[in-house]
Amino acid sequence: MRSTSILAVSIAFATCALFCPKPAATQTSNGTTDVDASMAAGAASQVAAQMVPANATLAQAIDAKKMQPGQPFQAKLSDTVHLKNGVELPRGTTLVGTVATDQMGNGKSTLALRFTKADLKGGKEIPIQATIVGVAPPANGSGWDGSGAQAPPSPWNGSSLQVDEIGVMSGIDLHSKIAGEDSGVFVSSRKDNMKFLNQSQLSLAIAPRGTSETSGGF
């Protein structure tokens, strides 16, 4: 009798495992699940562990009206940067990037920038990934609106994984995230053009390219 009871209970558990519905993952407002979000956060943390803060200045003006997707742009490192894989990027190293997207929709103008490599003296190239965590007018200029020169933007603190800075320029917001495909996405709610002056200051988180990346779209 006891053996029959144990067998019946075992069959009941097996049947439930096969046919009882499994709890669904919670879906977030952007369509991803909590499992997806947890995995993305884990990947971003891994990339963040390989990144170091850096400051750079644009080596040219960036005019969203004149630049097309795929067009290159450059910035110069303000100080020597030591990557965590042992590579040294001397002060003045050229960081090369491309315009990833430049479009207007729903009354908003969007400009995405993506750093891809560092050009060292002697022609050596180092693939990099970099996240823009802050932007400021040229140090010796007159500011975005003529109000005077500004100090460099705050450096990356080594732990934050996402930046959503509202009003980084007048009417322009910055969105970026560690391990994102794009280095930074600038969004303007106005229809007028986005322009970044030559020598504009950038605060970056930078690492050798090759660490796992997430999709990074906004």
Question: Looking at the predicted structure, is the pLDDT value of residue 94 above 50?
Answer: yes
Task: Kindly state the DSSP code that residue 27 receives in the 8-state scheme.
Answer: B
The answer to which of 12-21, 46-55, 74-83, 142-151 has the lowest mean pLDDT is 12-21
- pLDDT at residue 99 is higher than 80: yes
pLDDT of residue 170: 81
Q: What is the mean pLDDT of the chain?
A: 80
Whether the per-residue pLDDT at 155 is higher than 50: the answer is yes
Joined together, the tokens standing for residue 167 give 């009003």
Express each pLDDT in 102-150 by its tens digit: 776 666 788 999 999 999 988 899 999 999 999 999 888 766 665 555 7
Three-state secondary structure readout of the chain: CHHHHHHHHHHHHHHHHHHCCCCCCCECCCCCEHHHHHHHHHHHHHHHCCCEEEEEEECCCEECCCCCCCCEEEEEECCCEECCCCCEECCCCEEEEEEEEEEEECCEEEEEEEEEEEECCCCCEEEEEEEEEEEECCCCCCCCCCCCCCCCCCCCCCCCCEEEEEEEECCEEEEEECCCCCCEEEEECCCCCCEECCCCEEEEEEEEECECCCCCCC
Tokens 């970026």 — which residue? 176
* pLDDT value at 26 more than 70: no
| Domain spans, the chain | 36-208
CA-based nearest residue to 188, from 103, 75, 99: 103
Instruction: Please tell me the distance from the alpha carbon of residue 161 to that of residue 178, in angstroms, as a whole number.
Output: 5
Look at 42 and 104; give whichever has higher pLDDT. 42
Q: Which CATH number is correct for 36-208, 2.60.40, 1.20.120, 2.40.128, 2.70.50?
A: 2.40.128
Token pair recorded at residue 211: 């660490």
The pTM is what? 0.77
